[in-house]
A and B are shown apart, each in its own frame.
Chain A
Amino acid sequence: MNRIKSLFQKKRNDGKSVFITYLVCGDPDIKTTYNLMNIMVEAGVDIIELGMPFTDPIADGPTIQKGVERSLTKKTSLKDIFDVVKKFRKKNLHTPIVLMGYMNPIEKIGYEKFSLLSKNCGADGILIVDSPPEESKKINKILKNKDLCQIFLASPTTEQSRLKKIINSTSGYLYYVSIKGITGSKINNYKTIENRVNQIRIMSKNKIPITVGFGIKDKKTAKAISKFSDGIIIGSSVVELIEKNIHNKPIMFKNMKNYLKNIYKGMQNR
C-alpha cells in the first residue's frame, strides 16, 4: 500500500492529525536539504513535501520565491531531487515524500519518465501546483499506474461542482488552501476554514483526508487547525527559518528541530 494512504489510516485510528512540512529542495544546497529532511522526521514530522524549484513560481510568496532562487543558483535539477530522496530512503522507509512543483519541468522530462523516476527513488506522491484536475488527466493516469498519489488543491474560491471533481481526482490527501492568496499569507479566521473543511468532509463522505496549508506559522494556529483537519502543512515558516540561519548550519538545524518539535507538541493534545 502507498505510504501516504497507510499513514493517514493509522493516524485516523489513533485520533491524531498529520504533520506535513515543505522545503525547497536544494535550498541552499542538496546536502542541507538531506540533513533537514532527517531533522524534520526526528522532530515529529509525518510527511515531507519536497519543493521542485521552478523559475516562475506563480503561487508562491516572496519567502518561498527566494528559497527557489537560492536553489536555482545551484542549478538543482530533477535528477538531484530524485537522488536526495533515494539517499533519504536508505535510512527511512516510513516517511512519505511528496514532490511538489510546477508543470513545466515535468513536461520537459516527460510524464512517463518523471513518474518512473519518482517511483524508483522512493517518492509517494506528486503535487503540481499549476495543474488542476482539468489539465492533469493524462499525467494522473500515468501516476496512478505507478501507485503514486496525485494530490490536488481546493481553495476558498472553488465552486461546488469543481469540488466534487477535485475530491474524485485527488489521492492520498486533499490539500485545502486556507486563504485566497499566495504562500506565506496570514490566516484571519479559523471558523470559515473549519466550515469549509467540514463541508468538504461531508461531500467526500469522509473518504479522503483533508489537510490545511497556507498561513500556519505557530503552535497556536497549528493546534487550532489540527482540531478539525486531518493534517496541517507548514511551508513558508520553514523556508524563512532556513533563510535566517543560512550562514550557520548547526544553528539552523537546532532551531528547525526546536521550532517543529514545539508545533508537534501543540498538535498532540488537540
Chain B
Amino acid sequence: MSEYQTKNLMKKINYKNFPDKNGYFAEFGGKFVSETLMHPLNELLKSYNKIAKSTNFRNELKKELSQFVGRPTPIYHASRISKELGNCNIFLKREDLNHTGAHKINNAMGQAMLAKSMGKKRIIAETGAGQHGVATATACARYDLKCVIYMGSKDIQRQKINVYRMKLLGAEVISVDSGSKTLKDALNEALRDWVTNVDDTHYIIGSVAGPHPYPMIVRDFQSVIGHECKKQMKTLFNKKPNILVACVGGGSNAIGMFHPFLNEDVDMIGVEAAGLGLNTGKHAAPLNKGKPGILHGNRTYIMEDDNGQIESTHSISAGLDYPGVGPEHSWLKNNNRVKYVSVTDKEALKAFHYLTEKEGIIPALETAHALAYAFKIAKKLNKKNILINLSGRGDKDIDTVALLNRIQV
C-alpha cells in the first residue's frame, strides 16, 4: 500500500446514507441558524426530496446540463506532463469546459430549477472568486429570476471581470464591507438577506457548506462530476482511477468528484490552500490546521482563535479563501476516508504556469492547488492513474497572476 492509501477498509460505512435525517455526518453538520430560517430550511428539504425523486425533474435537469451547460465534460489524458513527471497517467476532468467556465454551474442550474419549482421569484447568492456568482446569474437569466449576488469588497477588487460578467447577465452585485470583506462575510450578508426576504427568495449557496440541507443538495447536484468520471474512465480509457485529487475551499468540486467513489477502492486527496505557509497563520486550511466549531449554520472544521472568534484567512485564490469547509469533508477527514493536504500560493502559481505551458490549459488558481499536489505525487508514484478535477478555467485570474509576475496587462 502506498503512503497515499487513504481509504479505510476496516470501516464499512455506506456513504450514500449520509447525512442522517437531522443533517448530520456523525458529529458534523446540523442546522445552527436563527429561528426565522428553520421554516424555510424545512420547506427547502421537503421540496428537494420531492424533486429528487421526480423522473421529470431529473430528465429536465439532464437535458439542461447537456444542451445549456455542455455536459458531459471530457476527461483528457495529459500525456505530455504525465511523461515528463514520471510514470503515472494524469487525467483531467475538464470542468473548466462547462458553460461559464467552472463546476459551479452544475449546482446553480439544479438549484435555480428547484427554486422555480418552489415558486420563488428572487435568487440570492454569495460568491468568492465570482464563479458561483456568474453561474447563478447565468441560471437566473436562463430562468427569468431576479438575481442578487453578495461579494466581499476585497474579492470585488481582485475579480473585476467576473463582477462585470454578473452585471451583464442582469444581476445586482452588492459589495460587502463588513468583517474580512471576503467570502465568509458575503455568506453572512446573504443569510441576512434571506432571513428578511424568505417568502419570495431562494438562497443558492455555492458550496457544500451552510445549514442542512444545503451540504446535501449541493453535493448531489455536483455528483454529476463523479458519476461521469466513473463511466468515462471505463469507456474512454478502459481504466480505473487509483487516486482522485481536487482542491477544497468549501469543497463542492471535491465532494462532487469523490462522492460516487466513496464506497469504492480509490484513494482520494483534498487539497487546501496553505497560503503563505501553514505555520504563518496566513492560510485557508481548516482541515489541516483548524478545529471543529460552528460557522454558517453547521459544525465543521474552522479556523478560530482561543476565544472562538473566526480568524481571517489568506489565499492567492479567492475561491479557497474561506475559514470553514463543508461538514461532509470534516467527517471524511475524521474517518480517514479522504486525505487532506495543502499547497502554498507559490506552489499553486508554479502549477498554474506549468499546466498552461505544457498542456495548453489555463487553470483557475483554485484548481492549481489540486494540480500542484498531484504533480508532486506523480513524481513519486509508479503506474498510477491520477484523476484531477480541473474545476475551473483561469481567465478570471489573469490579472492576479500578471500582478504577481509584475507584468502590466
Contacts and interface: CB of A to CB of B under 8 A. Distances in A.
Interface of A: 54-62, 65, 69, 72, 75, 77-78, 102-109, 129-132, 134-135, 152-159, 162, 166, 177, 180-182, 185
A104 B308 contact: yes
Interface residues of B, number: 37
8 closest cross-chain pairs (CB), A and B? A108-B308, A105-B308, A157-B39, A59-B34, A153-B35, A181-B196, A155-B36, A55-B310
B286 to A, nearest CB: 13
27 contacts: A54-B308, A56-B179, A58-B296, A60-B192, A61-B192, A62-B178, A65-B178, A69-B178, A69-B179, A77-B307, A104-B293, A104-B309, A107-B294, A130-B32, A132-B33, A132-B38, A134-B22, A134-B38, A135-B31, A152-B35, A157-B36, A162-B39, A177-B36, A180-B199, A181-B36, A181-B196, A182-B195
Given A58-B192, A132-B31, A162-B38, 18 more contacts: A56-B295, A58-B296, A69-B179, A75-B307, A104-B302, A104-B309, A107-B293, A107-B299, A130-B33, A130-B294, A132-B38, A134-B31, A135-B31, A135-B32, A159-B42, A177-B36, A182-B196, A185-B196
A214 B43 CA distance: 24
A105 B188 CA distance: 17
B170 interface: no
Which has the most chain B C-beta neighbours within 10 Å: A129, A155, A162?
Answer: A155
Nearest to B196: A181
SS class of chain B's interface: helix, strand, loop or mixed? mixed
B198 interface: yes
Nearest to A59: B34
B407 to A, nearest CB: 36
Contact of B40 (A72, A157, A166, A182): A157
Contact of A56 (B30, B31, B296, B307): B296
A62 B185 CA distance: 12
Given A61-B192, A104-B308, A107-B308, A56 B35 contact: no
Interface in B274-294: 293-294
Interface of B: 22, 30-36, 38-40, 42, 178-179, 184-185, 188, 191-192, 195-199, 293-297, 299, 302, 304, 306-310
A60 B309 CA distance: 16
B370 to A, nearest CB: 28
Given A132-B33, A182-B195, A158 B308 contact: no
Contacts of B178: 62, 65, 69
B353 to A, nearest CB: 36
Contacts of B297: 58, 130
Contacts of A58: 33-34, 188, 191-192, 296-297
Contacts of A156: 36
Nearest to A53: B309
Contacts of A103: 32, 294
Contacts of A134: 22, 31, 38
B149 to A, nearest CB: 18
B38 A105 contact: no
